[in-house]
Amino acid sequence: MKQIYLDHNATTPIHPEVLEAMLPFLRDHFGNPSSIHWAGRAVAGAIEQAREQVASLLGCRAAEIVFTSCGSEGDNLAIKGTVDALRGQGNHIITTEVEHPAVLETCRYLQERGCRVTFLPVDRRGALDLEQLESAITDQTILISVMWGNNETGNLFPLAEIGAIAARHKVCLHSDAVQAAGKLAIDVRAAGIDLLVLSGHKIGAPKGVGAVYIKNGTRLSPLLHGGHQERNRRAGTHNVASIVALGKACELAAAGLATYRQQVRRLRDRLEDGILATIPQVHLNGHPDRDLRLANTLNISFAGIEGESLLLNLDLHGIAASSGSACSSGSLDASHVLRAMGLESSLARSSVRFSLGAETTEEDIDHVLEVLPASVQRLREMSPVYKA
Ligand SMILES: Cc1ncc(COP(=O)(O)O)c(C=O)c1O
Ligand code: FES
């Protein structure tokens, strides 16, 4: 059976050129980049090259990039590191109700320890009210944290406008760009961002590596204490091969950005149009303006059925998709993102996320469009709650 992978927001396959780039660092170059001898020097240069490659994707300087073990670590570092460094200045954080758990749970953790956190609501489309954001700022506010692209709906947030607000009030701005980096153009300087997080496994590098952009001059305490790696901002011997891979993945993403967006967007729109045209009682979750969503993401609720049942059904046909985020699959709770958008709980539980990738083909999409209507129909016929 043909396998069709439409869960790229959960993780992506390693790009063949990325694998090629990292292999010598697993096989031959084993040195510790902090060592001064030949074995260390052989890998230290590769780490610095990777730093340049990541910086170039984001429009910053290499010295402003710190490597981490994943996107979640990056978000923890950005948020806890700011709160710790700016302890004397204030204790209020502004974020949104639709962040990834790496941000939400970090903020809740800090809330239990005395921080005040404002979780901004979103409207039915999943959009923020920027006036509400601005009026939430007080003289105690030390951090605004808003994601660039939402992992479940693909919704994009206007970081440049938020950057202007943050600058006006001189508040530090963090963005979780794990889903956006490598999928669309990001210029951290133009957007006025102080801290930005990305993760390797969403863009063709392996799992377990990420990076944080820390604007020159930003006050940030480290999360990991120990050695002097990463200019004292992140202790721990470098994961050399994965860092090399992340650098290569960023280089490839930067070079292929326009093609990726165009190609993936065309296929995503084909899937979206096909579903809306052939299946009754479906609800698009996310911004109706497709320009305001990640080009690869489509989130749809199929009234009357459980998203999980539909996923199992699709899986029998070799189609991999997901309901919301990978880390909460298996949980029966409706997605916090869809609930924040005001979707009633049964409709939220009937949602399925399709996230395409660079290797997705037109045949893949057509196959899904062949299988999906009959699967939905069959599940609805068995459903005690569905009314045609
Ligand atoms: C928006 C967002 N932030 C953070 C993360 C966490 O990244 P990582 O899996 O590298 O820890 C993810 C991964 O699902 C994500 O989608
Ligand atoms: S950690 Fe990846 S989806 Fe939650």
Tell how far the Cα of 212 is from the centroid of ligand 2, in angstroms: 17
Q: Of the candidates 252, 275, 304, which is a domain's last residue? A: 252
The answer to whether residue 138 sits within a structural domain is: yes
Cα(351)–Cα(347) distance, integer angstroms: 7
Domain boundary among 213, 229, 252: 252
Q: Residue 306's domain is classified under what CATH number?
A: 3.90.1150.10
ipTM value, please give it.
0.91
In the block, residue with structure tokens 């068995």: 382
- Is any ligand 1 atom within 6 A of the Cβ of residue 69? no
Q: Are residues 110 and 231 in the same domain?
A: yes
DSSP-derived secondary structure for 262-322: HHHHHHHHHHHHHHHHHSSSEEE-S-SSGGGB-TTEEEEEETTS-HHHHHHHHHHTTEE-B
- If one residue of 100, 105, 156, 296 were mutated to test the ligand 1 pocket, choosing by the most ligand atoms within 8 A of its CB, it would be 100
Q: Could you identify the atom of ligand 1 that is nearest to the CA of residue 74?
A: 11
Q: Identity (one letter) of the amino acid at 327?
A: C
Residues 172, 287: one domain? no
Query: For position 334, what pLDDT does the model report?
Result: 87
100 lies in the same domain as 124: yes
Are 73 and 163 members of one domain?
yes
- From 96, 156, 179, give the residue whose CB has the most ligand 1 atoms within 8 Å, as the site to mutate: 179
**Residue 180 Cβ < 6 Å to ligand 1:** no
Indicate which residues carry an active-site annotation. 327
Residue position matching structure tokens 């059925």: 305
- Express each pLDDT in 312-335 by its tens digit: 999 999 999 998 655 555 556 789
Residue among 69, 72, 209 to mutate when testing ligand 1 (max atoms within 8 A of CB): 72
pLDDT number for residue 386: 82
Spans of the chain below 50 pLDDT: none
Q: Is 321 contained in some domain?
A: yes
Number of domains observed in the structure of the chain: 2
What atom in ligand 2 is closest to the CA of residue 325? 3
Closest listed ligand to the CA of 178:
1
Is 387 within a domain?
no
Same-domain check for residues 261 and 244: no
Q: pTM of the prediction?
A: 0.96
Atom 15 of ligand 1 has which residue's CA nearest to it?
178
Write out the residue range of the structural domain in which residue 339 sits. 4-12+256-382
Rounded Cα distance between 105 and 145, Å, is: 13
User: 325 alpha carbon to ligand 2 midpoint, in Å?
Assistant: 5
For residues 70, 72, 78, 81, the Cα torsion angle rounded to the nearest 10 degrees is -100
* Pair 73, 125 in one domain: yes
pLDDT at site 331: 58
Report whether residue 176 contacts ligand 1, using a CB cutoff of 6 Å: yes
Ligand nearest to the CA of residue 68, numbered in listed order: 1
Locate 267 and state its tokens: 């296929």
As a whole number of angstroms, the distance between CA 95 and CA 109 comes to: 14
Same domain? 194 vs 279: no
Does the beta carbon of 326 lie inside 6 Å of ligand 2?
yes
Domain end residue (candidates: 223, 252, 281) = 252
353 located within any domain: yes
Q: Does a structural domain hold residue 186?
A: yes
